[in-house]
Amino acid sequence: MILQFISRESSLILAVTPANMDLANSDALKLAKEVDPQGLRTIGVITKLDLMDEGTDARDVLENKLLPLRRGYIGVVNRSQKDIEGKKDIRAALGAERKFFLSHPAYRHMADRMGTPHLQKTLNQQLTNHIRESLPTLRSKLQSQLLSLEKEVEEYKNFRPDDPTRKTKALLQMVQQFGVDFEKRIEGSGDQVDTLELSGGARINRIFHERFPFELVKMEFDEKDLRREISYAIKNIHGVRTGLFTPDMAFEAIVKKQIVKLKEPSLKCVDLVVSELATVIKKCAEKLSSYPRLREETERIVTTYIREREGRTKDQILLLIDIEQSYINTNHEDFIGFANAQQRSTQLNKKRAIPNQVIRRGWLTINNISLMKGGSKEYWFVLTAESLSWYKDEEEKEKKYMLPLDNLKIRDVEKGFMSNKHVFAIFNTEQRNVYKDLRQIELACDSQEDVDSWKASFLRAGVYPEKDQAENEDGVQENTFSMDPQLERQVETIRNLVDSYVAIINKSIRDLMPKTIMHLMINNTKAFIHHELLAYLYSSADQTSLMEESADQAQRRDDMLRMYHALKEALNIIGDISTSTVSTPVPPPVDDTWLQSTSSHSPTPQRRPVSSVHPPGRPPAVRGPTPGPPLIPMPVGSAATFSAPPIPSRPIPQNLFANNDPFSAPPQIPSRPARIPPGIPPGVPSRRPPAAPSRPTIIRPAEPSLLD
C-alpha cells in the first residue's frame, strides 16, 4: 500500500525514523530508495530526539554528515503518549519542541532548521517547486482545452434564453446550416470526411453505377427461354402458312417484352436512392438535437417533400420506358440490322472487356474449403476480363490458383447461422468442378454492399447471376420441339437483332436514370431546403415552441460555460504562481551507497557510545560527538571503553571531584555492563571488528546548560 503512493512522481516522501533506532537499517529509507534512487523526493525525518539516552545525540545525522540524504534530515519532537492523554495543547507542544532544540547543546546551533514548523516550511517549498515544474505541462493542457471550448462557448457568452431576437437568429442559422450540410453530404466535401464507410453522395453514386447495372443484368434473359419464345413468335406470326422470310413483327414483340422488364429494376433504384436521402436527412438533423421540436419538424417536412418527389420521379421513369417501348427505332446507328444479324455470332452475349484488363482487386474469404485443410481462409483476389486469380497476400507473388471465367455464373448463398459474413458462390454451368473437387466456391464478404460491388465487377467481366427458375416441363417440351434448319436460322437472326437492340435500350436507360433522379428528386430537394423550408417551419408551429431548448442542452450549456470560466481562472492562477513564487534549486547528489547495504550489522564508525533503547540483537545507532571542552584520553583496555556512557549534559556537584581527579570516584559515573548479543556464550570472542588501537575512547566533561 505504501509503494502504491510513494511510486508516484508527484509525491514527496517523508522517510520517518525514530532517533532511538538504527538509521542504517531504516525500512522507510530503504523503501524510499527503491522508488526514488536519485533522492529528489525523499526528506528524512528524525523523531523521538528527546527519548535518546542522556549524553547521546543525532547531531551528525541532522547535519547530513553521517548517513547523508540528498535533501537532508529534519528533527522533530512530538507529543508523548502522556502529553496526548493529558490533552496537551498543540501550541504548547510546538513551544516545548522549540525550547528543546534551543536548550540542547547539540542542536541549538541549528535550531532554526529543526522542528515541525521548519518541516512544514520545507514541505511547502518542495510543493511550490513541484508545482512550478509542472506548470508548463499543465498550462499547455489547459490552453488546449480552452481552445477546444471557445468555438462552442462563443455562441453562449451573451446567451439569454427568452430573447426573441436570439431565437430568430438561431433558427435562421440552423436552417441555413442544415441546407449547407445536406448539400455537402450529397456533393461531397473535404471537411469532416468519413473514413470508415461510404455515406451520402458516395452511396448514391454506388447505386447509380454499380447496383442499378447489376439489377439490369439480373433480369438478363435466359438463352433457352429466349430462343423458345422467338420460335413460338415466328410460328404464331406465320400461322398456318410456312414462312419463307424472317418476320420483323417477331423481333418487335420480343423487344417490347424485354423493355417492359426494365421497369422493376428502375423503380427499385429510385427506392434505394430515397432510402439514402432519408438517412442523409437524419444525419444532417443531428445538429438540431438541441431543439427537439425543430428537429422533428424539419425531418418531417423534408421527408414528406422527398416522398412527393419520389412519386413524380417514378412516373417520369415509367414514362421513359413507355417512350422506348412505343417506337422501335431500327435505324439507330448502333443497331446491327438484318443484314449483319445473320453473320453475327452468339458470343456477343459476352461483352468482355479488354483481355487481361484488371477489373477489381480485394480480399475475399473462401468458405467451403474442407476442414482438413484449415476451413475458411482469406485470400487476395484479382479479377480480370478472362480469369479470377487468388494469391496469399496483396503483394501478388504467391499465386494459389487461376480460374478461367468461361461458363461461370453467380448464385446467392444463405448466410450461416453463426456467421456474420455475407456469401455468394461461383459455379460452372456445365456441372464441372470449379476448384479441385468443389462444384462451387463460396466467397464471403464483411457486408452486403461488398457482395453487391463484387457482383457488379463480375458482371463487367461477363459472369452473370443464375436465373431464379428451375427446369420444368417447358424445358422438356423444348427438347421435344423439332426445329427445322430454316426456322433455326430465323431464330438465330432475331436472337442477334434482339440482343443488339436491348443493348441500346439498356445503355440509354443507364444513362437517363441518374439524370432523372438527380433532376427531379435530389436537386429539387436541395432547392426546397434552401428556399422554402423556413417558410414551412414558420407555418407549422410558432417560433417559441420550435426553439424550446431540451433539458439536456441547457445542462450541457451550463456545464460548458462553467468549465470555460474555470479554465480561464486556472490559467490566471498559474500566471500568478509563476510570478509570485520562488523555486529553490535541487540539492547536489550525496553518497548514499550506505542505503545499498541490506546487512543488519552494517559497520559504522563508533564515535560515541550509543543509545540503549533499541531492540535486542539490533546494532546500536550511531550518534555524533557533543561539543565541549578538550577531550581527556582514557587508558585502552579499561572496562569503561565499551560500557561507560558519557557524562550527561547537566550540572554536576563540585564535591564529586574534590581531589581534581576525574577518575578518583568511578562509582559516581553511571555505567552499565557490556551488552553481549543473545545466543553467544561468555568467553566466545565477538565477531564485531575491534576498535582501532590508535583511537582511545574519550569522555567529555559536562557543559553548563543554557537553562542555568
**What is the predicted pLDDT for the residue at 151?**
75
pLDDT at residue 581 greater than cutoff 70: no
- Contact between 289 and 177 under an 8 Å Cβ cutoff? The reply is no
**What is the predicted pLDDT for the residue at 117?**
92
**What is the predicted pLDDT for the residue at 302?**
93
The answer to whether residue 74 sits within a structural domain is yes
**What is the predicted pLDDT for the residue at 701?**
45
pLDDT at residue 423 greater than cutoff 50: yes
Mean pLDDT within 670-697: 45
The answer to whether residue 9 sits within a structural domain is yes
Q: Phi, psi at residue 67, to the nearest 5°?
A: 50, 60
Please indicate whether residue 310 or residue 374 has the higher confidence score (pLDDT). Answer: 310
Mean pLDDT within 438-459: 83
Choice among 524-538, 593-607, 633-647 with the minimum mean pLDDT: 633-647
The answer to whether residue 124 sits within a structural domain is no
Q: How many CB atoms within 10 Å of residue 571? A: 15
Q: 427 lies in which domain range? A: 354-465
Mean pLDDT within 213-218: 78
**What is the predicted pLDDT for the residue at 483?**
57
**What is the predicted pLDDT for the residue at 673?**
47
**What is the predicted pLDDT for the residue at 220?**
62
CA atoms within 13 A on the CB side of 463: 28
Distance (Å, rounded) from C-alpha 512 to C-alpha 568? Answer: 59
Please indicate whether residue 11 or residue 224 has the higher confidence score (pLDDT). Answer: 11
pLDDT at residue 449 greater than cutoff 60: yes
pLDDT at residue 263 greater than cutoff 50: yes
Helix (H) and strand (E) counts for the chain? 22, 13
Q: Phi, psi at residue 366, to the nearest 5°?
A: -85, 115
- Domain end (from 87, 114, 141): 114
- Contact between 509 and 324 under an 8 Å Cβ cutoff? The reply is yes
pLDDT > 70 fraction of the chain, expressed in percent and rounded: 71
- Highest mean pLDDT (candidates 135-139, 249-253, 321-325, 487-491): 321-325
Cell numbers for 378: 482469406
**What is the predicted pLDDT for the residue at 662?**
40
20 φ/ψ sector (left φ>0, alpha ψ -120 to 50, else beta): alpha
The answer to whether residue 537 sits within a structural domain is no
For 165, the 3-state DSSP assignment is: helix
Mean pLDDT within 37-57: 86
689 φ/ψ sector (left φ>0, alpha ψ -120 to 50, else beta): beta
**What is the predicted pLDDT for the residue at 159?**
59
- Highest mean pLDDT (candidates 78-92, 148-162, 440-454): 78-92
CATH of the domain at 394: 2.30.29.30
Report how many domains make up the chain.
2
- Domain end (from 442, 465, 488): 465
**What is the predicted pLDDT for the residue at 514?**
92
Confidence of residue 20 (pLDDT cuts 50, 70, 90): confident
Give the residue from 26, 71, 72, 43 showing the smallest Cα distance to 595: 26
pLDDT in tens, 471-494: 443 444 444 344 566 677 777 777
The answer to whether residue 474 sits within a structural domain is no
- Side by side, which strands form the sheet with 13-18? 13-18, 42-47, 73-75
- Highest mean pLDDT (candidates 373-377, 405-409, 636-640, 683-687): 405-409
Angle between helices 90-103 and 116-154 (to 10 degrees): 130
pLDDT at residue 565 greater than cutoff 90: no
The answer to whether residue 362 sits within a structural domain is yes
**What is the predicted pLDDT for the residue at 484?**
64
pLDDT at residue 675 greater than cutoff 50: no
Q: Got the DSSP string for 544-589? A: HHHTPPPHHHHHHHHHHHHHHHHHHHHHHHHHHHHHH--PPPPPPP
Angle between helices 473-480 and 223-238 (to 10 degrees): 60
For 621, the 3-state DSSP assignment is: coil
pLDDT at residue 206 greater than cutoff 80: yes
pLDDT in tens, 70-110: 888 899 999 888 888 888 888 998 998 898 889 888 888 88
Mean pLDDT within 527-551: 84
**What is the predicted pLDDT for the residue at 518?**
93
Please indicate whether residue 369 or residue 205 has the higher confidence score (pLDDT). Answer: 205
Choice among 297-301, 505-509, 541-545, 556-560 with the minimum mean pLDDT: 541-545
**What is the predicted pLDDT for the residue at 269?**
92
CATH of the domain at 8: 3.40.50.300
The answer to whether residue 64 sits within a structural domain is yes
- Domain end (from 412, 430, 465): 465
pLDDT at residue 274 greater than cutoff 50: yes
Confidence of residue 521 (pLDDT cuts 50, 70, 90): very high
For 617, the 3-state DSSP assignment is: coil
Distance (Å, rounded) from C-alpha 323 to C-alpha 259? Answer: 10
**What is the predicted pLDDT for the residue at 317?**
93
Mean pLDDT within 373-381: 73
Confidence of residue 519 (pLDDT cuts 50, 70, 90): very high
**What is the predicted pLDDT for the residue at 417?**
61
The answer to whether residue 647 sits within a structural domain is no
